[in-house]
Homo-oligomer: A and B are copies of this chain.
């Protein structure tokens, strides 16, 4: 994660008069305005079409202060006005909402065998999503990043209007990320070590943006599940991402648990068979060696055409699903073994961490009909705290788009939490 640019414009002071709201001890007036701008936008982001008067009532700011802050948000294009407002207070037609036609967040995903890009507006709606297959293990990091940036530029040229400025970039990568946006290591992308992803993407894109955030793809997919999925996942769940690698995004209290050093969720390297096959990580019998995409295809005897990938209609997982549907015994046996191994690893996770809900994502969503029984059976037998209540097992509906939507969504959420990062800069 990179620090945003500091805003050079002098801050104006909107004093809290008459109805003070205690906001801690602000260091200076700029901090107070930033806090109040976020307060107002948060109220609008609830999506109930609040009027200025209603926002003033809820936030306990004066109407004058609210109007000035709303003007800033309007002129930055972050919100729009119009349509009937809730309740009876205020003039009709002055309801405020997030602007679906305004600034957008750009998401980029680099995965082992595909690259994806997405544009999301401030309501969280996907303006455009694209996934392109290609084995990234054979290419240099710079080449893969260049290809993803080129895809993003094409998408911007095709999808964006003048008013839809890109305010930030989120990048999903299949590995361990430092707080400075550096990919430290990607177990399934040999040679990707200490790659300055944020810096490289920013300089290649040559487009001024306010923030660039980089995170693990399983983490971002879990956030997308929390923000954009239809199913009620709740605030405490783990989303498993089945790809070439297997990762887990851990959401606790509605927030990602990234670990003490940002290294959490390496479910693919949980041991399911201590004497099992050697793993690229240095261990033995890691979950990935039994239930990762390549192990699964190999065990099922499924062919894997070069250059095809997950999420692509005729990709290898589609072939696997077709075989399972026609009852191919080798495929069904491989899926049962993978499901049992996944269930064992998830039981260990639940025993240690205690989360009540698991969401199957990535390829595990595609093959859920053939692995769910095994996953559930192992969880029931081994997750000691959930013998009675049971662990809730859900299947992701986001498909291969989860991580790239989460990447773009992370940027949007960050700006909704702190609109001062962009508001003055965007003001027309």
Whether A208 is near chain B, meaning CB under 8 Å from some CB there, is no
Known: A272-B274, A282-B387. A352 touches B351 (CB 8 A): no
The A269-311 residues at the B interface (CB cut-off 8 A) are 269-274, 281-284, 286
| Max count, chain B CB within 10 A of own CB: residue among A24, A263, A286, A341 | A263
User: A261 CB to closest chain B CB, in angstroms?
Assistant: 6
User: A73 CB to closest chain B CB, in angstroms?
Assistant: 26
Residue in contact with A252 in the complex, picked from B260, B272, B348, CB distance below 8 Å: B260
Known: A22-B22, A22-B25, A344-B274. A354 touches B283 (CB 8 A): no
Known: A22-B24, A24-B22, A25-B22. A352 touches B270 (CB 8 A): yes
Residue in contact with A382 in the complex, picked from B271, B273, B345, B349, CB distance below 8 Å: B271
CA distance A273 to B271 in the complex (A): 9
Judge whether B281 and A384 touch: CB under 8 Å: yes
User: A93 CB to closest chain B CB, in angstroms?
Assistant: 34
Residue of B nearest to A252 (CB): B260
A270 cross-chain contacts in B, Cβ below 8 A: 348, 351-352
Copies of this chain assembled into the complex:
2
Judge whether A384 and B353 touch: CB under 8 Å: no
Known: A260-B354, A349-B352, A354-B262. A272 touches B271 (CB 8 A): yes
Judge whether B271 and A384 touch: CB under 8 Å: no
Whether A78 is near chain B, meaning CB under 8 Å from some CB there, is no
Residue of B nearest to A266 (CB): B351
Residue in contact with A271 in the complex, picked from B261, B347, B356, B385, CB distance below 8 Å: B347
CA distance A421 to B348 in the complex (A): 39
Judge whether B381 and A259 touch: CB under 8 Å: no
Q: Given A264-B354, A269-B351, A270-B348, 17 other A-B contacts at CB below 8 A?
A: A176-B384, A187-B384, A258-B354, A261-B354, A261-B356, A261-B385, A263-B384, A266-B385, A271-B272, A271-B344, A271-B347, A282-B382, A282-B384, A283-B381, A283-B382, A348-B349, A353-B353
